Amino acid sequence: MNARTARQWMVTHEWMVKPMAQTEWIEGKGLLVWLAEVFSALGTGLYLVSLFFGLKEEFALTAFWAGLFGWIMIAIFKLPLHFAYLGKPLRFWRSFPPFSNAWKTSWFARGIVFTMIFLGFGAVQLVLQALVGYKVVAFASGAMDANYVFMVLAGVFGVLTAVYCGFAMSYCKSVPFWNTGLLPIVFLFMGAADGLALSMAVGLVAGQSVVGTAESATRIMLILNSLLILAYLVNANYQSETAELSVRELVRGHVAWIFWLGIVLLGIIVPFVISVASYFAGREATTGLLIFAIVCHTIGAFSLKYGVLKVGIYRPLLPKAHAY
């Protein structure tokens, strides 16, 4: 074996002896996965939050528009991006039983099934919510009773749509940083917090004062999310050497600016400070500050998914993990 051939063999097989960064879901065409999952979190979070506002008559109109925008994010942004990544969008029907058994083994296939069922139930629920919100029918009527039923059905599949990406990643045993049951919970709670932030924007446009209620819930969600992210990182840090490398890369490496600026500062601290300041001032935040907090919150959503995907590192086949 000459020197050039030996070098090519070593490069080709270095993944066997050292941790290697995954690029399939975050570089090139893989950026579509990142964007799809961000819109999935924003859309499902906004829709699920709208269901809680829909339980009160005074917020019925905001609930409709919030749910509609969340539904659109899933139907217009999330699904097309996923299909574009998979390469053959016209074959999506093969994910459904009885045409395929892929849903039994693939979380991506399950995700498509969950999403399509959610969109169906959600569409019916939004029609009923519009009738109530625009006072075509009374809040206490048979239409609202039917709305409750579809709220539950769409809500269940909305949650499944929100968490399936976390399960798909957590089942990747070759990437220890993702291989934890905490990941779907982190994604679900962060999506709910993002939904609360976006619902405030919808409330401003719809003219219904949901800001105070949403702000109160946001403060709690931001605290819970901070603790969840901390628990997730601590757990990963002690899980394995390769997972520890991922944590180090996220907190102190090339991706650290995304973590500290995008996730911690803009995604958590700034919205929390604005919310707390308005609480102690005894009034809601001004429109300008509120919009700024919503924008920061949304940047945090993009940053979280990017950071988690970017620092995914494959463990080597041989047990000894060297420096990344």
DSSP 37-92: HHHHHHHHHHHHHHHHHTTSGGGHHHHHHHHHHHHHIIIIIIHHHHHHHHS-GGGG
Which carries the bigger pLDDT value, residue 81 or residue 98? 81
Q: What's the mean pLDDT in 48-63?
A: 91
Q: What's the mean pLDDT in 213-221?
A: 90
CA distance 259 to 264: 6
Query: pLDDT at residue 225 above 90?
Result: yes
CA distance 129 to 124: 9
DSSP string, 250-288: HHHSTTHHIIIIIIIIIIIIHHHHHHHHHHHHTSPPPHH
Q: Name the residue type at position 127.
A: V
pLDDT at site 93: 65
Q: What's the mean pLDDT in 226-240?
A: 94
**Residue 201 in contact with residue 294, Cβ under 8 Å?**
yes
**Residue 58 in contact with residue 31, Cβ under 8 Å?**
no
Q: Name the residue type at position 226.
A: S
Least confident of 57-61, 101-105, 250-254: 101-105
Query: pLDDT at residue 16 above 80?
Result: no
pLDDT at site 288: 85
Residue 277 confidence class, pLDDT cut points 50, 70, 90: confident
CA distance 71 to 46: 8
Q: What is the mean pLDDT of the chain?
A: 87
Burial group, residue 67, by CB count within 10 angstroms (0-12, 13-18, 19+) = buried
**Residue 119 in contact with residue 87, Cβ under 8 Å?**
no
Query: pLDDT at residue 321 above 50?
Result: no
Give every CB contact of residue 163 below 8 A, 6+ residues apart in sequence.
Answer: 184, 185, 187, 188
pLDDT at site 313: 93
Which carries the bigger pLDDT value, residue 19 or residue 248? 248
Residue 229 confidence class, pLDDT cut points 50, 70, 90: very high
CA distance 305 to 302: 6
Which carries the bigger pLDDT value, residue 211 or residue 16? 211
Give every CB contact of residue 219 below 8 A, 6+ residues apart in sequence.
Answer: 272, 275, 276, 279
The tokens describing 1, both together, are: 């074996």
Least confident of 3-17, 136-150, 248-262, 310-324: 3-17
Query: pLDDT at residue 218 above 50?
Result: yes
Report for 2-6, 78-82, 91-95, 241-245: range of highest mean pLDDT: 241-245
How much is the pTM?
Answer: 0.89
Question: What is the set of domains in the chain, with CATH numbers?
Answer: 18-314 (1.20.1630.10)
Q: List the alpha helices (DSSP H) in the chain.
A: 3-12, 31-53, 60-72, 79-86, 107-133, 142-170, 182-206, 211-237, 241-252, 256-257, 270-281, 287-310
Q: Give the tens place of pLDDT for each residue, 161-214.
A: 999 999 999 988 899 999 999 999 999 999 999 999 999 989 888 766 788 888
Q: Give the tens place of pLDDT for each residue, 141-155.
A: 788 899 999 999 999
Which carries the bigger pLDDT value, residue 159 or residue 112? 159
pLDDT at site 323: 45
Can you say whether the dihedral through the CA atoms of 306, 113, 75, 294 is positive or negative? negative
Query: pLDDT at residue 107 above 60?
Result: yes
CA distance 197 to 268: 11
Q: What's the mean pLDDT in 247-251?
A: 96
